[in-house]
């Protein structure tokens, strides 16, 4: 029976750790070509533009010996040019895996339901599980452990946070969220993450005060205040999130050896100041690199 990678919550803590262990092994052989995906083809179905996601998947498939085909919105416009059902069934006859980056969570869920091959969620409006895997791989690289660590996420309770919160809950990293009223994470996803956190003996806390959230933490995480498709809200959001900027004054409240994380792209001077994101505590490019290794681990699990 085929298995998809749509949400972190679909996998156990042990399975998440297995992905990370595999990603670490793959990273040790960075750039070396294998043949695990020899004779296999992977379709990248992208409704949204991308830098890290598209390149990391294309390179990852190549390094595993497979063939990667990019299909942008001009080729496939899910539910508009052609039904999602027809796209899923047709691609299943051609390729061994579908990687989809979409606007609406319903599109990725429908693809997974109708496709006869594994579907990987490369981002939707509700989840970003591939980013979360790379994030927790980076956290363990930097700190060596998960238990006892605390991550503060300051900003918008968006798709990136949903998956990151769940991944941390699965492996035992405490999470504190701070954001303005009206931008909290989805209550149902928070509930599921808290249930997972109970099992791994860590805590999920949702609040408003960025100073309280950051106090003594090992990891500070930020994301853009205005995501793709929200450009008409820019002025409103910049005003509402102003107090949630990661700057020197806020960061000094964290652990002296804290790391700063950001999934990129970043807007220096808005959600984070240049001295923080480009400073000695920043691990943003380690995160970006680890997208390659974590996604290769997922491909090997689902396709081989």
Which residues does the annotation mark as catalytic?
101, 128, 131, 223, 263, 291
Q: Which residues, in sequence order, are bridge partners of residue 82? A: 78
Nearest CA-CA partner of 248 in 215, 275, 227: 275
Please list, residue by residue across 276-292, b when 16 or more beta carbons sit within 10 angstroms of its beta carbon and e when fewer do. Answer: bbeeebbbbebbbbbbb
Place of tokens 């605390």: 150
Integer angstrom CA distances of residue 291 from 167, 247, 248: 15, 26, 28
Over 109-153, what HEC string results?
HHHHHHCCCCEEECCCCCCCHHHHHHHHHHHHHHHCCCCCCEEEE
Q: Which residue, chain included where needed, has tokens 């791989």? A: 137
Copy the structure tokens of residue 190: 């928070």
């Amino acid at each position: 029976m085929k298995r998809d990678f749509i949400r972190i919550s679909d996998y156990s803590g042990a399975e998440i750790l297995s992905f990370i262990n595999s990603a670490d092994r793959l990273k040790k052989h960075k750039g070396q070509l294998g043949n695990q995906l020899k004779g296999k083809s992977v379709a990248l179905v992208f409704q949204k533009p991308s830098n890290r996601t598209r390149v990391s998947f294309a390179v990852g498939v190549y390094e595993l010996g497979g063939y990667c085909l990019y299909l942008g919105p001009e080729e496939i416009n899910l539910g508009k040019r052609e039904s999602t059902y027809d796209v899923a069934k047709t691609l299943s006859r051609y390729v061994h895996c579908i990687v989809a980056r979409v606007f609406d969570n319903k599109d990725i869920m429908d693809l997974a339901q109708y496709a006869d091959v594994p579907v990987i969620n490369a981002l939707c409006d509700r989840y970003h599980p591939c980013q979360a895997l790379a994030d927790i791989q980076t956290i363990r690289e930097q700190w060596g452990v998960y238990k006892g660590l605390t991550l503060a996420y300051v900003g918008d309770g968006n798709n990136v946070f949903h998956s990151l919160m769940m991944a941390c809950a699965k492996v035992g990293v405490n999470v504190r969220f701070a954001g303005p009223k009206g931008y909290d994470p989805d209550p149902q996803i928070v509930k599921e993450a808290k249930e997972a956190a109970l099992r791994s003996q860590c805590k999920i806390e949702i609040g408003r005060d960025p100073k309280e959230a950051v106090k003594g933490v090992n990891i500070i995480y930020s994301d853009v205040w205005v995501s793709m498709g929200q450009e008409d809200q820019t002025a409103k959001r910049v005003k509402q999130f102003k107090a949630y900027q990661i700057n020197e004054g806020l960061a000094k409240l964290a652990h002296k050896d804290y790391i700063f994380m950001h999934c990129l792209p970043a807007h220096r001077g808005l959600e984070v100041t240049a001295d923080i994101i480009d400073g000695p505590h920043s691990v943003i490019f380690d995160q970006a690199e680890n997208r390659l290794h974590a996604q290769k681990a997922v491909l090997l699990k689902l396709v081989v």
